[in-house]
Structure 1
Amino acid sequence: MSVTSITDKNKYLLWVKSGGRCQYRGCNCSLTQDILTKRNFNQSYIAHIVADVPGGPRGDAVRSPLLKDDITNLMLLCDTHHRLIDRADVAGHPETLLVKMKKEHEARIENATAIAPNMQSHILTYKANVGQFTPEMSYQTVSQFLKPTYYPAMADTIDLSLSNSIQRDRDTAFWTTEVANLEAQFDRKLFQNYAKGEIKHLSVFAFAPIPLLVKLGTLINDIYTCQINQKVRNPDTWNLDDDTAEVKYTLIEPEKKHKTVALNISLSATITNDRITQVLGEDCDVFTFTIDNPFNDYLKSKKHLEDFSIAIRKLFNLIKAKYDAQTPIHIFPAMPIAKAVEMGRVWMPKADMPLYLYDQNTANGGFTKVIEIVNS
């Protein structure tokens, strides 16, 4: 037990640095409110990393007197973790571990409180069944990925998902139902609030079959300022990094011979053109937009997404210059989630060619047209 009288200055400073929460890794409980009664009172303990006396936990004959009132040697803890590190498991809590916990906690509090007041963002979530898989996407699981740039505008998500759907993407009814629900939910939960000026920025977390993600992007459009998040498998995150390395896109153009136009987007996997002509017939012009060695987890940086947005906008313009403006583009996509949403965002409803979106499903024998997005 501490015998040192810690100065008020360091007590206050420790409370500020800890955000009034337990600094033990994984705890983070509030130290100003009882979890059951919700009554407000101080239930914190100030613990020494190196004990203030040589014989205490992690004590040292030389360093204990020097660090007894040093803010770098103090941790704010709840009763449970104060007892754990000083009594129940001293050996399991060496100085190096506690110092690391303290630094991690204080860095997180600093990052959270450093966000500018105008950097609030509404979390927009949308999920739909992908094969037999229904993803989990709650406020608790995605809100952490707004920091350190943004903070949640409210303690909930704007969820556009159809709840408890038993339909699967191999069924025709699945697409009709999902599109109708997506449009209705978007209008009710998002568009009306945006028109009132209540929404300034969106953080988008979506996981659904690619055609639905493109449809979502057309609804968001470029009138909303937003951040499109990407589910990355390794490391497991929704955040794109700040790497500035470029991805080289390759466009293979056909000779203009036919009135039917197809766009082969081979980014996360390779789609061979014969799979497209099996659906549309041989009398079609196929534009292929791809990268070297397509694979399903290549999108990792914000620059990759920004570059894609520019490249796909130029591609829409190029195709429109070669064909009648009312000619639909039949899109066969193999692409990351964020790029599907972004492609929908850059499509201009009053100026661009209609989009016919196809979904690959082995249960249906290959690609099937599932959504039509037409000019308004």
Structure 2
Amino acid sequence: MSVSYIPQAVKFILWGKSAGRCQYRGCNTSLFEDALTKGEFNQSYIAHIVADEPGGPRGHLTRSAELKQDINNLMLLCDTHHRLIDKIDVEGHPESLLIEMKKEHEKRIATCADISHDMQSHIVTYKANVGAHTPMLTYESVRESLLPTHYPAQPAAIDLGLSNSPQRDRNDIFWQTETDNLETQFNEQLRPKLRKNEIKHLSLFAFAPMPLLIKLGTMLNDIQHIDVHQPVRDPKSWNLSNHGEDCEYIVAHPEKPSCPKVALNISLSATITNDRITSVMGEDCSIYTLTIGEPFNDYLKNKSQLASFSVAVRKLLNEIKSKYGSGMELNIFPAMPIATAIEFGRVWMPKADMPLIIFDENTGFKKAIEIKNA
């Protein structure tokens, strides 16, 4: 425990750099509020990394005296971690480790505090069962993905998902139930705030079957200030990079043009062969394909690739509509990343584009959702 005097000015600077939170890695406990009673009082401890006397934890014959009032040698800690590093496990907490913890914490606080006051963003989450799996998507799991360009506008997400649904996407009732819930939640939780201009920016995190993501995209169609986040597998992240190579989106035109039915094969995260589509639609179907050189499930890495996808889709929808007219139904067979599914819906124009019939893969393609134009 400290025995030396620490100037008040040094204490204030340490409190400021730590934002009044425990600097032990992974703790971050507020040191001015009791977790149970919510009463506000100072419950912090100031610990020396190199003890202020040679016989103390990590003490040194000469450096202890030199560093006893040096802010770079001081950590703000909770009672638990103060005892841990100074009494219970001194050997497990060498000087180098504690310096790393202190720098990490203060860098994170500085990054958060440097964000401009007008860069707030409302976090929107949406999840639905995918096969046998129920996605885990919470405010706590995604909030740090806003940094360093935005910060959460409120301490909770606007959640559009249906909680604890027993329905699975192999059941026909799943699609109607989930669609009804999505429309209800959107109209009750999000639309009023948007109409009142209470939201300046949205950060969207979603994990659901493709048809529902496309549906969500159509509802977000005219919202300009939105970041659609993509779960990237390698390296694991919810953020697309601002840098990186673009990719070429390839359009394959129908071998049988001018058929009474038309379909769009979107083969980005996997390859959908046309025979799987004709097994559902019949042979009298004109099939357009939007793909890339080598489809795979983690191809989408940067924002440039997503922007190029939006342009390619807009051009292709215009081309198909000019050929078949805005009244013809366009059947969508998607194998695509989450963000591209949402962007597809956002690109679609309800007053001008063809109505959509969206299919889902579940032991063969089945019709899941209809999206009508205006």
User: TM-score by structure 1 length?
Assistant: 0.95
Equivalent residue for 2:2?
2
Which residue in the other structure is 1:305 paired with? 306
Deviation at 1:100, TM superposition (A): 0.8
Whole-Å separation in 2 of the counterparts to 1:90 and 1:247: 52
Q: Provide the C-alpha distance between the structure 1 equivalents of 2:159 and 2:342, rounded to a whole number of angstroms.
A: 16
User: Equivalents in 1 of 2:304, 2:373: separation in Å?
Assistant: 29
> Does residue 55 of the first structure (1) align with residue 29 of the second (2)?
no
C-alpha contact 1:232 1:300 (8 A) present in aligned 2: yes
Q: CA deviation at 1:309?
A: 1.6
Tell me how far apart the structure 2 counterparts of residues 52 and 207 of structure 1 sit (CA, whole Å).
52
CA RMSD of aligned residues (A): 1.5
- Kept in 2, the 8 Å contact 1:217–1:344? The answer is yes
> Is the partner of 1:370 in helix, strand or coil?
strand
Matched, 1:354 2:352: no
Report the Cα distance in structure 2 between the residues aligned to 1:149 and 1:187, rounded to whole angstroms.
28
- The whole-number CA distance in structure 1 between the counterparts of 2:311 and 2:71 is 50
Shift of 1:64: 2.5
Matched, 1:259 2:257: no
SS in 1 for 2:13: helix
Which whole-Å deviations, capped at 9, do the CAs of 1:288-338 have from their partners, x for residues lacking one? 111122111222222222221222122212222222121222110000111
Aligned match of 1:339: 340
- The separation in 2 between residues aligned to 1:77 and 1:98, in whole angstroms, is 11
CA distance in 1, matches of 2:161, 2:226: 19
* Contact 1:259-1:323 within 8 A present in 2 as well: no
Q: Describe the superposition over 1:42-61 as per-residue Cα deviations: whole angstroms up to 9, x where unpaired.
A: 11111111222232222223
Q: Deviations over 1:117-152 (max 9, x none)?
A: 111111111111111111122222222222222222
Decide whether the 8 Å contact of 1:46 with 1:77 is kept in 2: yes
* Structure 2 portions without partners, runs of 5+: none
The structural deviation recorded for 1:159 is 1.4
2:102, 2:327 → 1: CA distance?
61
1:162 aligns with 162
Give 2:102's aligned residue. Answer: 102
Q: Is 2:133 the partner of 1:133?
A: yes
Give the structure 2 partner of residue 191 of structure 1.
191
Taking the TM superposition and a 5 Å limit, the aligned residue runs for 1:214-229 are 214-229=214-229
Please tell me whether residue 270 in structure 1 is matched to residue 271 in structure 2.
yes
- Measure, in 1, the Cα distance between the counterparts of 2:18 and 2:43: 14
Work out whether residues 162 and 178 of structure 1, in 8 Å CA contact, stay in contact via their aligned partners in 2: yes
State how far apart, in whole Å, the 2-side matches of 1:14 and 1:248 are: 51
**CA deviations over 1:337-360 (Å, ceiling 9, x no partner):** 111011101111111111110101
Going from structure 1 to structure 2, the CA distance change for 1:212 and 1:123 (only over 3 Å counts) comes to same
1:369 maps onto 2:363 in alignment = no
Give runs of aligned pairs for residues 16-165 of structure 1, distance below 5 A. Answer: 16-165=16-165
Summarize the alignment of residues 283-302 of structure 1 with structure 2, pairs less than 5 Å apart. Answer: 283-302=284-303
Aligned AA (2:83): R
Determine if contact 1:254/1:285 at 8 Å carries over to the other structure.
yes
Deviation digits for residues 200-225 of structure 1 (CA, Å, limit 9, x no counterpart): 21111111110010000000113242
Matched, 1:280 2:278: no
State whether structure 2 residue 211 is matched by structure 1 residue 211.
yes
Secondary structure of the residue aligned to 1:251 is: strand
Paired-residue identity, %: 62
Q: Distance in 2 between matches of 1:354 and 1:44?
A: 61
How big is the shift at 1:78? 0.9
* Structure 1 stretches lacking a partner, 5+ long: none
Which amino acid in the other structure matches residue 65 of structure 2? P
Once the two structures are superposed, residues 19-57 of structure 1 have per-residue CA deviations (whole angstroms, 9 ceiling, x without a partner) of 000000111111112222322211111111122223222
Deviates more, 1:214-223 or 1:286-295: 286-295
What is the distance in 2 between the residues matched to 1:322 and 1:51?
Answer: 79
Q: Any idea what SS the aligned residue of 1:204 has?
A: strand
Query: Aligned-pair distance for 1:237?
Result: 2.6
Give the Cα separation in 2 of the matches to 1:22 and 1:130: 39
Work out the CA distance in 2 between the residues paired with 1:188 and 1:12.
45
Return the offset for 1:239: 1.9
User: What is the correspondence of 1:243-254 to structure 2 with a 5 Å cutoff?
Assistant: 243-254=243-254
CA contact (8 A) 1:268 1:294 kept: yes
**After TM superposition, which residue ranges in structure 1, 4 or more long, deviate above 4 angstroms?**
none
Deviation at 1:77, TM superposition (A): 0.6
The amino acid across from 1:91 in the alignment is: E
Q: Secondary structure at the match of 1:81?
A: helix
Matched to 2:366, the amino acid is: T
User: Could you tell me how far apart the structure 2 residues matched to 1:101 and 1:9 are?
Assistant: 22
Q: Is the contact made by 1:122 and 1:201 (CA closer than 8 Å) also made in structure 2?
A: yes
1:113 partner amino acid: A
Tell me if structure 2 keeps the 8 A contact 1:222–1:346: no
Q: Give, in angstroms, the shift of residue 244 of structure 1.
A: 2.4
The offset of 1:16, in angstroms, is 0.5
Letter in 2 for 1:207: F
Secondary structure of 2:124's partner? Answer: strand
Return the letter of the residue paired with 1:282.
E
Q: How many residues align?
A: 373
